[in-house]
Amino acid sequence: MENNLFSFTRTIIKLISKNVLRIIPILLVIGCTSSHNKSSLYLSQERPTTKPEIFAPNLISNPDEYEFGSVFNKEGTEFFYGVNVNGKEEIRYTKLDGESWSKSITLLEHPTYGYNDPFLSSDENRLYFISRRTLNGEGDPKDYDIWYVEKQSDTWSEPINAGPEINTDRNEYYISFNNEGTMFFSSNRKDYDFDIYQSRFSNGVFQKPTPLGDSINTFFYEADVFVDPNEEYLIFCAQRPEGYGRGDLYISFKNQEGTWSKSMNMGPMINTNGHELCPFVSKDGKYLFYTSNEDIYWVDTKIIQDIKNNPTPKPDLNKSYSTISSQSAKDSIEVVREHILSGKYPNIDGILVAQNNETIIEEYFHKFDRDSSHDMRSSFKSIISLLAGIAVDQGFMSVNDQASTYLTEWKDSPKGQIKIKNLLEMRSGIACEEFFDEGPNCEGEMWDTKDWLAYNLGVPARYPPGTKWEYSSLEPDLVGEIIARASSMPLVDFAKKYLFEPLAIKDYSWYITPEGRGYGGGSFFMKPLDMLKIAQLVQDKGLWKGERIVSEDWINESTYAEIPVQMSFLKVARTQNTKTHSANYGYFWYRELLEYEDIKTEVLFASGNGGQYVMILEDYDAAIAFTGSNYGRWKAKLSFEVLLKYIIPILREKG
């Protein structure tokens, strides 16, 4: 062939169903040397400087897709990359053919399991990736494992699991190799926290992985690791207090003693207020590729030396406006600060406490301050409960009304018997469950549709109304729609008129659904001080500065909470010397009895993913707000330990 290149035919494995494998042959050009015009490499893109740029916009990085890990072969003539398309993960491939690149094709896909984060082995005879595939390729998805396909003459093998030394019953993510074939990867096998591990390849098998030291692994999340083949440096994604966004890239350099230096943030030239992950450096060492805010970026690796020579200084990680005067209370708050910043209580972003309607503790951490809005996640459901109470007080509806009175789409449906009360209690019987992973996860499916209301209205029932508690975001969104229809006002306008304006809450933002409604299930941004106002409103039985906002009857009814949810938030926090009890559920509010040493008290609270809590301690006349960024992690519940060990003793002392 042209350019004196050796060529052979490879095949692509394309999984088109759970159990069916289809082989599609294509011609790939591979060689030990290459006479390709250098300008044709890297998809013929103009080379970046030390300022990051989107890689191959509209060819690889597309605005309507989420691109993940990527890797070039040594010659720079083949490119593999992961893509999330409407929640489905697949691996794509393109190659340099002559002086032009082929159109990207899907290399690995599966309708159930998905494939992502490709990486070539050191000898490029294996393509590694991650997947939720089961060992026999049948059944429901499992946790993420590391897999590979192996080059066999002119074909790729079927997917092969990397084995029990690498994979566990928890997640294994992202792969890279040094020149000796040692695999670096991340896993949450230990206590559900993601750390970075390495596994030597010896005698044809991977050895038992060992975690990297504390210069890399901390109390926080570390994953998506790229190791320089010569082990001169290591780049990975971490979620740490000093970070700029949801996940930042960090770097560690190998020092003269042969150990890894303390990792440092790669700074604002790389990291944004979004999410940076999936690093890879081209085999020629010239370009760093990584994903930023759902696109692949690249940058000249000179920036790595610049970072080494001029590390970014750490920002101030704590802003305090607390007014507590007692020295013992000050000492307790200082201990909490130290624990949060050291990572013992990771990713708590804010703590606010008011007693007798006086704000005494106001602490912010990491990149947050009192003017920073925070995503309330599902704690916003409790605000929907307040709005429902206001609608009842105004005579627009009754909790004993059938939902179909307002949701007329249900008139001739078995769901027509569902009462508004059933929705408020999450006992509608509709086939959704998002708390214990029993499924289906209706909110996840809903996000992939263009009409969320139509989707929510169309989910079938599976239990009689009022008989079984199942947590979902469908019910509060439907309650929000009922409020809007009953009052003849958009939910956004109703909330502004009857709740937010009376409480002087001005800076907030709704998530607007594709069909233009304010979403009632969560993802509402509000300042922590305004979250505290919500807690104080409930604490004062619906009064705000002497003005009646919602009736006392509604506060009592909606927060009575007698439905057991078979889960203790305190138990999940793993606090020692506690006696735990199941939380109970009311109308989008929880209650739980807390016992720790000589403390025995009940907390009423709203809860949101990541550690968003709006709490009321009736025994101490206290209102509390926590914000956090422990999304999807048990450590979001550590706020309950902070409450018991530090906040309640302060409240006791102050009286």
Minimum mean pLDDT range among 17-31, 196-210, 521-535: 17-31
Instruction: For residue range 586-604, list pLDDT tens digits in order.
Output: 999 999 999 999 999 999 9
Closest by CA position to 561, among listed 601, 537, 592: 592
Cβ–Cβ < 8 Å for 181, 121: yes
Q: In whole angstroms, what is the distance from residue 88 CA to residue 91 CA?
A: 10
The model's confidence at residue 4, banded by pLDDT at 50, 70 and 90, is very low
Q: Is the pLDDT of residue 56 over 60?
A: yes
Confidence (pLDDT) at 631: 86
In a domain, 333, yes or no: yes
Same domain, residue pair 157 and 76: yes
Confidence (pLDDT) at 18: 36
In a domain, 639, yes or no: yes
**Measured between alpha carbons, how far is residue 351 from residues 391, 528, 544, 615 in Å?**
31, 8, 21, 11
The model's confidence at residue 20, banded by pLDDT at 50, 70 and 90, is very low
φ/ψ of 6, rounded to 5, equals -75, 135
Same domain, residue pair 410 and 295: no
Confidence (pLDDT) at 39: 78
Q: In whole angstroms, what is the distance from residue 185 CA to residue 172 CA?
A: 7
| Range among 26-30, 104-108, 125-129 with highest mean pLDDT value | 125-129
- Sorted by sequence, the CB contacts under 8 Å of residue 575 that are 6+ apart come out as 596, 640, 641, 644, 645
CA angle in degrees (0–180, nearest 5) for 179-184-185? 155
Instruction: For residue range 410-448, list pLDDT tens digits in order.
Output: 999 999 999 999 999 999 999 999 988 888 999 989 988
User: Can you say how many angstroms the Cα of residue 104 is from the centroid of all Cα atoms in its chain?
Assistant: 29
Same domain, residue pair 491 and 392: yes
User: Can you say how many angstroms the Cα of residue 265 is from the centroid of all Cα atoms in its chain?
Assistant: 20
In a domain, 187, yes or no: no
- Sorted by sequence, the CB contacts under 8 Å of residue 572 that are 6+ apart come out as 634, 637
Instruction: For residue range 24-45, list pLDDT tens digits in order.
Output: 444 343 434 445 577 789 999 9
> Domain containing 417 — which CATH number?
3.40.710.10
In a domain, 455, yes or no: yes
**Mean pLDDT, to the nearest integer, of 151-170?**
89
Q: Where are the alpha helices (DSSP H) in 441-589?
A: 442-446, 452-458, 474-487, 491-495, 528-539, 552-558, 569-573
Tokens, residue 171? 């997640």
Domain boundary among 314, 344, 360: 314
Same domain, residue pair 140 and 19: yes
Same domain, residue pair 427 and 576: no
The model's confidence at residue 280, banded by pLDDT at 50, 70 and 90, is very high
Concatenated DSSP letters of 261-327: PPPEE--TTT--SSBEEEEEE-TTS-EEEEEETTEEEEEETHHHHHHHHSPPPPPP-EEE------H
Q: How large is the C-alpha radius of gyration of the chain?
A: 27
Same domain, residue pair 303 and 341: no
In a domain, 610, yes or no: yes
Tokens, residue 455? 């989707």
The model's confidence at residue 3, banded by pLDDT at 50, 70 and 90, is very low
Same domain, residue pair 391 and 477: yes
In a domain, 573, yes or no: yes
Same domain, residue pair 63 and 106: yes
Domain boundary among 291, 314, 337: 314
Cβ–Cβ < 8 Å for 81, 60: yes
Range of the domain at 145: 1-33+57-161
In a domain, 182, yes or no: no
φ/ψ of 466, rounded to 5, equals 80, 5
Same domain, residue pair 152 and 224: no
How many domains does the chain fold into?
Answer: 4
The model's confidence at residue 507, banded by pLDDT at 50, 70 and 90, is very high
- Sorted by sequence, the CB contacts under 8 Å of residue 192 that are 6+ apart come out as 170, 633, 634
φ/ψ of 189, rounded to 5, equals -65, -25
In a domain, 568, yes or no: yes
**Mean pLDDT, to the nearest integer, of 619-645?**
94
Angle between helices 381-393 and 528-539 (to 10 degrees): 50
Q: What is the mean pLDDT of the chain?
A: 90
Q: In whole angstroms, what is the distance from residue 464 CA to residue 427 CA?
A: 9
Same domain, residue pair 300 and 430: no
Instruction: For residue range 161-188, list pLDDT tens digits in order.
Output: 999 999 999 999 899 999 999 999 999 9
Tokens, residue 459? 């989910």
Confidence (pLDDT) at 566: 92
Before 440, cis peptide (omega within 30)?
Answer: yes
Looking at per-residue pLDDT, the higher value among 341 and 395 belongs to: 395
Q: Is the pLDDT of residue 191 over 90?
A: no
Tokens, residue 645? 């060990």
The residues with which 161 forms a beta bridge, in sequence order, are 147
Same domain, residue pair 567 and 425: no
Looking at per-residue pLDDT, the higher value among 617 and 258 belongs to: 617
Q: In whole angstroms, what is the distance from residue 12 CA to residue 2 CA?
A: 24
Domain boundary among 290, 314, 338: 314
Same domain, residue pair 298 and 332: no
